[in-house]
Amino acid sequence: MLALARKSGQSIMIGDEIEITLLEIKGDQVKLGISAPKSVPIYRKEIFAQIQEENKSAGQEVDISRLKSVFGKGE
C-alpha cells in the first residue's frame, strides 16, 4: 500500500484518467472527490463487498435443469 500525505485541495493521480482530490477535513472524516471516466465503476468498499456477495449467491442459485428447459436443451 502506498500512503501519501495531502492537504485540503491537493490531489493524486491514478494512471492518466483518475484524479482523487482531498476536498475537506472535518474531525475524523475526510471528504474525497474522484474524477474518473464513466466506464470506471466507483463504490465504497462495503458496498462493493455486498455486490460481490450478491453476485456470488445469485450464481449459486441457478437451477441448471430449468435453464436447459428454457433454452430447449433438455427434458
pLDDT band per the 50, 70, 90 thresholds, residue 73? low
Residue in 5, 14, 62, 66 with CA at minimum distance from that of residue 37: 14
What are the structural domain ranges in the chain? 11-64
pLDDT band per the 50, 70, 90 thresholds, residue 47? very high
CA distance 36 to 55: 24
In this prediction the pTM is 0.69
The order of strands in the sheet holding 29-35 is 11-14, 18-26, 29-35
Q: What pLDDT digit, counting tens, does each position of 4-30 carry?
A: 999 999 999 999 999 999 999 999 999
The three cell numbers of residue 40 are: 470506471
φ, ψ at 2 (rounded to 5°)? -95, 125
